[in-house]
Structure 1
Amino acid sequence: MSDFITADKGVEYIAVIHAAEDTAQKLELCDFEGKKLLFFNNGVELAAEWENKKLAIACIISQSEILGPSGISLLEGLKNKGLPKVPFFLISNQLNSNLRKLALSAGVVDTFKVPVKYHNVATRVNFIIRHWSEIKSKVHEKVTDTYTVPIGKRIFDIVFSGMALLFLSPVFLLIYLLVRLESKGPAFYYSLRVGTGYRVFKFYKFRSMYVNADKRLKDLSHLNQYNIDAGTADVSADPATPTLCNDCLKSGKCQFPIYADKNSWCEKDYSSNKKFAKGSAFFKIKNDPRITKVGNFIRNTSLDELPQLWNVFIGDMSLVGNRPLPLYEAEKLTTDKYALRFHAPAGITGLWQVEKRGKGEMSEEERLMLDNMYAKNHSLRNDLRLIFKTIPALLQKESV
């Protein structure tokens, strides 16, 4: 993006977000009927320029996965800022009927799957812009977040998490110092997670791995705990290959980042999972060598989860619920069979942690079954029962 954008009077702009170099070049060759293209690295840049310079944005074209940072969460963020309602298009690598429905229900006007026929993009964009005044009232604006936390549960969450944050502040300080002393890098990090109704939010943890842990993921994929029923696959990696997954390579940028201070790295080495389409949507390794010594301790005692009390306090999560999933896991669980797990609060602990964790191998299907069971039967009474059962589950011997 140019550092000096001037708003030309009477000129309309098409904002292009997170576009790969190839995408940008092909869009520049399209005929958008006199509208100029403005390129932005992310939605934060767009929102700042849009507000400060009063740009006449005619539409937005974002290259992102549906559940990615520049996908439906960006659309919701722009709406919350009170910016004008304009057509929003997505260019994605992963797209199926359920993901398309999810995007349309969130207010996305249209989606295009890579590889894209860009003359079709231009035709569609131009048509929508010309008829936007008649179309916009018919576009859905609500993300499918149909679950609302009951008032009693929300009050309990605020009181409990607030008191816990206050009394555990010395523990927070001690862990912070230990993490920083053992290995280089920040003590906290956040990644994007998908919670209730596929809502995307920042999910906080203490860092328990070395900062370059993602670079070793391909070499360790055969140890995936949740790949019990899926068999194994050859996912050998060329050390000279950039540590972007296949889909991120198509976009030219990481679609699934983890953030810590000024550092960021890819959460997902997607190629290792993508080699087997019927493989596990979850990735976890026993005795993971990427984990630091302090990290191993805080993981086995679940102390790495303590920063999530802040997520509970601000309303992103609840104390008890289904675990929020990384973007790349959630995008594989959009079928009717699995979508039920998202019709429940996202939580720090839940049914599958208590019933199965630490008691031997657990398949992905079992975990999803327990998530669906919780979604059907959760209540404040059952949540309290699960909280009391959580402590023994945390003190497990299995390194997961």
Structure 2
Amino acid sequence: MEQKEDKNSTFRLLLVEADPSRIQNFKNSFGDMVQVSVEPDGADALLYVELGNPVDLVVFNDELGYLTFLRGIADSHFFDDTRVILLSADAGIKPEAAPYRKYIVDVFPKTYSSEALGRRIQYFIQKKQYQEADKPLYKPAPIRMPVGKRAFDIFVSSVLLLLLSPLLIVVAILIRLDSKGPVFYKSKRVGTGYKIFDMYKFRTMKTGADKLISGMASQNMYNKVVEEPEMDLCEECLLAGTSCQRPLFLDNEQVCEKLYHRKQKAKATFMKFKEDPRITGLGKFLRNSSIDELPQLINIFKGDMSFVGNRPLPPYEAEKLTVAGYARRFAAPAGLTGLWQVTKRGKAGVSDLERIQLDVLYAKKYSFKTDLIIMIRTVKALFQKENV
């Protein structure tokens, strides 16, 4: 077996390869990043790790008995942390399926791009460095609503619930007469500090409306107009005349990483539809008059929301706003109304980026004076001209 090279690098990579030219090319590409040891096949590689040689990552030519290696390390829990990158010409390999599951973290073509494989190796290097740094887990301070704002919410919401109770009862009866289904619509929302809670509304849609949303993407007001590429390869691979150099395995299928991220970027963050066919006849009136929002007074009284803040989002929308610049919106209270509602709501051409920027602006600037102005403007904007 080849002896390990004496290098300063603390990241140990085991390359299972028998071709001298491929070994040399690998060392030329990554020898400065990691300490490379080489074994000619799966049996020798298994013996290497069983003898106690530390290995942080294994890069394996799949022609050299990788199943022998995987079965061997699977027989002992001492090797549960072993991670393998497979080099294979078989695009049908599924890392999440047995016997690959748990050990194989990625599959690259044998004609891999050094840049792409280097990024993947660098990820594991940085992961190890972070773990060895033994940094304490970051525990953010809980985001608390100002005492004055919370006291105002409790007092006003309790008074309004008492005064509006006759209206709430009448609306509940009308909803039951208008269409089949429950009176209230309850949905999971993400509010202040990513706290998830149940938000209440009067039901304005037909029962099962959530299941129809996937087929209505073309009607989304926030959608961007993009041309979907018809090819399976990005421009770089097409020009080079090679197979995909940046394969990504998703839902048991291989896709181009570059094309995947391009499609994800083109997807709208928020969902809102014009002339939504899911809305009932009574629901259209309740929405345009904002009466459907009144049950959220219960959320305000409970402390899930405030009268003024950033709109609480469904989880599938909130998960798209976890980057540093956008996540700031969740530092503000979740609100029944807010800066976006009184400036852009119902206007054609509004982008999701504009809405995010307004949410972030409110999180930075909100105060009692700001909230008072927004509440006054909300009263003027209760009846919308557009059916959204």
What corresponds to 2:242 in structure 1?
A: none
Deviation at 1:119, TM superposition (A): 4.0
Deviation at 1:356, TM superposition (A): 1.1
Question: Aligned AA for 2:211?
Answer: K
SS at match of 1:325: coil
What corresponds to 1:179 in structure 2?
A: 175
* Match among 144, 147, 152 for residue 148 of structure 1: 144
Deviation at 1:278, TM superposition (A): 2.6
What corresponds to 2:309 in structure 1?
A: 321
Deviation at 1:146, TM superposition (A): 3.6
Question: Aligned AA for 1:318?
Answer: S
Root mean square deviation of aligned Cα:
3.1
Give the number of equivalent residue pairs.
240
* Counterpart Cα distance in 1 of 2:268 and 2:159: 38
* Counterpart Cα distance in 1 of 2:324 and 2:334: 18
Deviation at 1:385, TM superposition (A): 0.9
What corresponds to 1:281 in structure 2?
A: 269
* Counterpart Cα distance in 1 of 2:300 and 2:349: 29
2:378 pairs with 1:383: no
* Counterpart Cα distance in 2 of 1:343 and 1:115: 40
Question: Aligned AA for 1:302?
Answer: S
For the 8 Å contact 1:193–1:201, the answer to whether it is kept is yes
Question: Alpha-carbon deviations, 1:317-349, whole Å to 9, x = none?
Answer: 100000010000000100011011011100000
| 1:29-40 map, 5 Å | none
* Match among 144, 151, 168 for residue 164 of structure 2: 168
What corresponds to 2:27 in structure 1?
A: none
- Rate the CA distance shift 1:162–1:120 in 2: closer, same or farther, 3 A: farther
- Could you tell me the TM-score, scaled by structure 1's length? 0.55
- Rate the CA distance shift 1:206–1:275 in 2: closer, same or farther, 3 A: farther
Deviation at 1:230, TM superposition (A): 4.5
Which structure has the bigger radius of gyration?
2
* Match among 226, 229, 233 for residue 231 of structure 1: 226
What corresponds to 1:209 in structure 2?
A: 205
* Match among 299, 319, 336 for residue 287 of structure 2: 299
* Counterpart Cα distance in 2 of 1:218 and 1:343: 30
2:206 pairs with 1:218: no
For the 8 Å contact 1:340–1:372, the answer to whether it is kept is yes
Question: Aligned AA for 2:276?
Answer: D
SS at match of 2:316: helix
What corresponds to 1:53 in structure 2?
A: none
What corresponds to 2:13 in structure 1?
A: none
SS at match of 1:394: coil
What corresponds to 1:194 in structure 2?
A: 190
| 1:65-84 map, 5 Å | none
Structure 2 unaligned spans of 5+: 1-73, 78-94, 105-134, 230-250, 252-261
Deviation at 1:120, TM superposition (A): 5.6
What corresponds to 1:363 in structure 2?
A: 351
* Counterpart Cα distance in 2 of 1:310 and 1:120: 49
* Counterpart Cα distance in 1 of 2:327 and 2:96: 25
Ranked by relative contact order (alpha carbons within 8 Å, sequence separation 6 or more), the top structure is: 1
- Rate the CA distance shift 1:219–1:147 in 2: closer, same or farther, 3 A: same
- Rate the CA distance shift 1:275–1:185 in 2: closer, same or farther, 3 A: farther
| 1:46-125 map, 5 Å | 118-119=101-102
What corresponds to 2:16 in structure 1?
A: none
Question: Alpha-carbon deviations, 1:100-119, whole Å to 9, x = none?
Answer: xxxxxxxxxxxxx9789654
Question: Aligned AA for 2:226?
Answer: G
* Counterpart Cα distance in 2 of 1:391 and 1:114: 54
- Rate the CA distance shift 1:366–1:145 in 2: closer, same or farther, 3 A: farther
SS at match of 1:191: strand
Identity %: 51
* Match among 323, 328, 334 for residue 346 of structure 1: 334
